[in-house]
Amino acid sequence: MQQGFSEKKHQPGAGDAAGELVLHPDFVELEKLERLAHRMDTLFRLPIINTRVGLDSILGLVPGIGDTATLLPAAYIVYRGHRMGVPTSTKLRMGVNSAIDWVIGSVPLVGDLFDVGFKANRRNVALIRSHLEQRHSEQAQLSRWYAKEKGAPVGTPSHRSNFV
């Protein structure tokens, strides 16, 4: 079974077919953050050099306020990571990624070229994904252990969390 999914049925009226795999709410939020990071870092492809750039790189071209404006989505990604239980050490790494992107990105021309390659938002979302996959993998293992200890077959809905 894939991480972040459960075979347990949704509550009535949830709109999903009975027995359909359901994405854990953390992974639903992660998908939203991945879309935001995509828009900020890799929305457009530059055909001549075959490199992807996003709104972060484009807004960074505006002197003074461009790089500062891109701090808002970066801060939102760090905030959502905090709300999803990312450890402090990971939040610090995310903050450093955002700070590096802002400080170096603020330097004219050199910073704009740096923004094209660094992609701090995608790095930060990857850190959140790594944490969530590890956490949910551990929860799935604990759920299987609990079911064995109680003598229930593994995967019995009454002995599993709603989401794995």
Strands 22-23 and 5-6 turn out to be: antiparallel
Going by C-beta distance under 8 Å and a sequence separation of 6 or more, which residues neighbour residue 157?
A: 8
What is the per-residue pLDDT for 24? 81
The answer to whether 55 touches 40, Cβ cutoff 8 Å, is: yes
What is the rounded average pLDDT for all residues in the chain? 81
Q: What does the block give as tokens for 114?
A: 């740096």
Token code pair at residue 131:
């944490």
Q: Looking at this protein, which amino acid is placed at residue 45? A: R
Q: Which of 77, 56, 164 is nearest to 126 (CA)?
A: 77
pLDDT band at 139 (very low <50, low <70, confident <90, very high): confident
Bridge partner list, 45: 52
At residue 6, what are phi and psi to the nearest 5 degrees? -140, 150
Residue pair 6/24 in contact by the 8 Å Cβ criterion: yes
Which has the closest alpha carbon to 34: 54, 51, 17? 54
In the chain, the percentage of residues whose pLDDT exceeds 90 is 49
Q: What was the pLDDT predicted at 136?
A: 85
Q: Which amino acid is at 83?
A: R
Lowest-confidence range among 104-108, 132-136, 153-157?
153-157
pLDDT tens digits, one per residue of 69-85:
999 999 999 999 999 99
* Mean per-residue pLDDT, 117-139: 92
| pTM over 0.85, yes/no | no
Higher pLDDT, 42 or 155: 42
